[in-house]
């Protein structure tokens, strides 16, 4: 009963005094409450088009701004101004005689000095995510602090699968990240839960009578939501991005996903993970996206949140990924050199993860 009540409130975005007391007076009325979505050829709300979830906001709230969900205008302007300064710096011409060690200032957030990307090559967004016009400090709305409620009696790697003791991600190609191997989006762009990342935060929605297809720019993932069934695939069949079945509830597309591939790990979740998503078009250029995550083996309670997609013009271009990227050879060669000498030669992006948490806006 308690879980059901939390679920309904999180998905509806109606946060009451009992859940988040500091939002009781801050929550504005729903935007475009009288908006009526256009219909497709089958009479369903038309979600088709190219959309983006690019934003500076991340899944979990940044503790720097307290436990509240809504940022102040001053906080919002400070975050967006800092990001603009970084973008402007990255757009400046680079001295052709500069060395990598001369470029710490315009490295993208959390990657430290001597980085592999500077800000000119990334697109993490330039504005804070707004829902109903509110600038948000995170996407999660179901927990008071806006953090993922991990079970304290279970040890998991919240960012990926755990390797056996003594093993390294660079032991062989199969233990490198799925994105590097061009098998699935970097981060969790494809979802579910669909989350913005460092770049390529664009999606195309295509509808037919029996399916909704979400074409994800990052690694060119195509997620198919089946509308003509209520039965999931057998438990032994576990495709990338799981098995998604959908149904229409009024103007909202409700999608339930189970049967996740065992190598596709989301916040340490297990094979029991179930994600429920709700897509509601709230304006000609906005889609409200709500999600609910359930896996009692790793989470202390079910949890969820929301954000809004924005419509954009243009099209999605091909993400021309080739397996492992050409850098994989260098990664493995470097790892073998470390094995031979016993000397760690350089920090990795995994090492930089801890530094990101200490950055000005290093949100989870």
Query: Does 135 score more than 50 pLDDT?
Result: yes
Decide: 9 and 19 in contact? Cβ < 8 Å. yes
Sequence length of the chain is 364
Mean of pLDDT values over 168-188 = 86
Among 203, 208, 210, 282, residue whose Cα is nearest residue 241: 203
Helix or strand holding residue 83 (H, E): helix 73-91
First CA to last CA distance, the chain = 29
Query: Does 255 score more than 80 pLDDT?
Result: yes
Q: What is the pLDDT of residue 62?
A: 94
Query: Does 300 score more than 90 pLDDT?
Result: yes
Decide: 205 and 49 in contact? Cβ < 8 Å. yes
Decide: 271 and 297 in contact? Cβ < 8 Å. no
Among 255, 281, 284, residue whose Cα is nearest residue 191: 255
Q: Which residues contact 163 (CB under 8 A, 6 or more apart)?
A: 169, 175
**pLDDT tens digit sequence for 17-72:** 233 323 222 334 445 668 899 999 999 999 999 999 999 999 999 999 998 999 99
Q: Which residues contact 78 (CB under 8 A, 6 or more apart)?
A: none
Query: Does 254 score more than 80 pLDDT?
Result: yes
Average pLDDT, the chain: 81
pTM as predicted: 0.82
pLDDT confidence band for 165 (50 / 70 / 90): confident
Q: Which residues pair with 252 in a beta bridge?
A: 249, 280
Among 142, 133, 137, residue whose Cα is nearest residue 18: 142
């Amino acid at each position: 009963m308690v879980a059901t009540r939390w679920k309904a409130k999180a998905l509806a975005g109606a946060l009451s005094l009992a859940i988040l007391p500091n939002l009781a007076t801050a929550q504005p009325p729903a935007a475009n409450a009288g908006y009526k979505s256009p219909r497709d050829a089958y009479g369903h709300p038309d979600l088709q088009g190219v959309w983006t979830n690019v934003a500076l906001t991340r899944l979990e709230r940044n503790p720097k701004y307290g436990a509240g969900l809504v940022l102040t205008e001053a906080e919002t302007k400070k975050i967006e101004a800092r990001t603009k300064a970084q973008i402007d710096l990255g757009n400046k011409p680079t001295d052709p005689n500069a060395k990598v060690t001369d470029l710490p200032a315009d490295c993208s957030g959390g990657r430290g000095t001597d980085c592999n990307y500077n800000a000119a090559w990334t697109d993490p967004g330039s504005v804070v995510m707004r829902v109903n016009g509110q600038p948000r400090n995170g996407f999660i709305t179901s927990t008071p602090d806006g953090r993922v409620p991990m079970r304290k009696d279970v040890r998991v790697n919240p960012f990926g699968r755990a390797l056996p003791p003594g093993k390294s991600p660079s032991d062989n190609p199969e233990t490198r990240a799925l994105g590097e191997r061009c098998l699935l989006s970097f981060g969790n762009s494809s979802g579910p839960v669909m989350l913005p990342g460092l770049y390529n935060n664009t999606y195309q929605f295509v509808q037919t009578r029996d399916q909704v297809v979400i074409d994800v720019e990052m690694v060119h993932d195509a997620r198919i939501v089946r509308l003509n069934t209520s039965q999931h695939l057998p438990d032994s069949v576990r495709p990338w991005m799981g098995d998604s079945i959908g149904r229409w509830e009024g103007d909202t597309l409700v999608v339930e996903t189970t049967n996740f591939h065992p190598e596709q790990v989301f916040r340490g979740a297990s094979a029991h993970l179930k994600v429920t998503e709700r897509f509601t078009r709230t304006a000609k250029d906005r889609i409200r996206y709500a999600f609910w995550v359930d896996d009692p083996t790793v989470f202390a309670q079910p949890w969820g949140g929301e954000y809004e997609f924005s419509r954009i013009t243009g099209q999605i271009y091909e993400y021309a990924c080739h397996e492992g990227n050409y850098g994989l050879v260098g990664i493995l060669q470097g790892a073998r050199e470390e094995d031979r000498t016993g000397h760690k030669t350089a920090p990795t992006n995994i090492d930089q993860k801890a530094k990101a948490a200490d950055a000005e806006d290093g949100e989870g």
